[in-house]
Amino acid sequence: TCSLLRSPKGFPKLKNDTFLRAARGEETEHTPVWCMRQAGRYLPEFRETRASQDFFATCRSPKLCCELTLQPLRRFPLDAAIIFSDILVVPQALGMEVVMVPGRGPTFTEPLKAVEDLLKLRQKVDVTAELGYVFQAITLTRHSLEGKVPLIGFSGAPWTLMSYMIEGGGSSTMAKAKSWLYRHPEASHRLLRLLADVVIDYLVGQVAAGAQALQLFESHAGHLGPELFQAFALPYIQDIAQAVKSKLKEEALPLVPMIIFAKDAHYALRDLAHAGYEVIGLDWTIRPQEAREQIGKDVTLQGNLDPCALYAPKEKIGELVKKMLESFGTQRYIANLGHGLYPDMNPDHVGAFVEAVHAHSRHINKH
């Protein structure tokens, strides 16, 4: 249960560290598995918990975040939990207003239109003051997990956050945000730098609060080509890994494994392999063998079953998982979907996915 806020000290001893060992490249008896958006609308209990609450009000309630994070673990033998939150809490910390509009998703009431609008953003963000509710949720959840599995913290990456802040919500082309990269490169870098600095402090704060791994979501990488990615995304992705690690050292905090998930960025896998992350998350559009060739053997891979495969009959899910494990190999690998779960998915099929990963990887490891 998610009661009583306890201090970030004296956490329960971790009983299942398979996910952390795989992230660090150590040997595991089975391949660990978790799902992006595993705390989500495909669970009836999630919809019930969220029914009466505004989405971002839920994000600001440590107790509800804890409950939603734990729900999938009560159903499935997942090897990691990821804190329930949203990447758009970072633009909120910069002073922007974001509301969840039914049927439209997250919407900014006043997106950035002109370069002058950057002046409206908070230039110095005290992450504990602005995002302390996430830290409290992490501490509470870490205690409530009772050492069952590790807890992952996360943030959006600067380009992905910037694109939302300019587009004002989702977009199929990102044309407004990309036009900034071409028309206002200096202002774009100013904004990306501001975001990166907040993300660094935010991720370090999550580890201080109890997060045992961190994932950076560059969800909109696919809208950039190699040149724009190299100029406007990669430098900040690299800088975040480096700065987070050096701050964790300075503050004598645990050096937790870091995961980069840059969706649709096949063109950047070689660069991401040297960006300072222990794990690279892959979407479903890349062949595992090709990813391994480009990334090399010193980085753990995470992914990449097509989320829509979970609509298949359970036996078919088992076959697809077996094929995926054979392609990736069972070591230096964390099984996941190539993106998040969709709201209309059958929880039993999620269970079938998780169990298939455990069963087939154990079998492959034995033989």
Can you name the residues that pair with 101 across neighbouring β-strands?
Answer: 105
Catalytically annotated residue among 17, 42, 50, 202: 50
Give me 303's structure tokens.
Answer: 């992914």
Catalytically annotated residue among 6, 24, 41, 75: 41
Contact (CB, 8 A) for 19 and 79: yes
Contact (CB, 8 A) for 107 and 85: no
As a whole number of angstroms, the distance between CA 2 and CA 18 comes to: 24
Catalytically annotated residue among 37, 60, 292, 332: 37
Q: What are phi and psi of 262, to 5 degrees?
A: -110, 100
> What burial class does residue 258 get, using C-beta atoms within 10 Å of its C-beta: 0-12 exposed, 13-18 middle, 19+ buried?
buried
Q: Using alpha carbons only, give the angle 17, 61, 3 rounded to the nearest 5 degrees.
A: 65
Give me 158's structure tokens.
Answer: 């600067």
As a whole number of angstroms, the distance between CA 341 and CA 258 comes to: 22
Q: Where are the beta strands (DSSP E) in 102-178?
A: 105-108, 151-156
230-to-166, 199, 278, 280 alpha-carbon distances in Å: 20, 19, 20, 17
Catalytically annotated residue among 24, 86, 311, 342: 86
Contact (CB, 8 A) for 359 and 365: no
Closest CA to 43 of 269, 360, 350: 350
289-297 contacts: CB < 8 A, separation 24 or more? 289/327, 292/328, 292/329, 294/269, 294/270, 295/269, 295/270, 297/332
Is 50 a residue of the active site? yes
Side chain identity, residue 20: L
Looking at the annotation, which residues are catalytic?
37, 41, 50, 86, 164
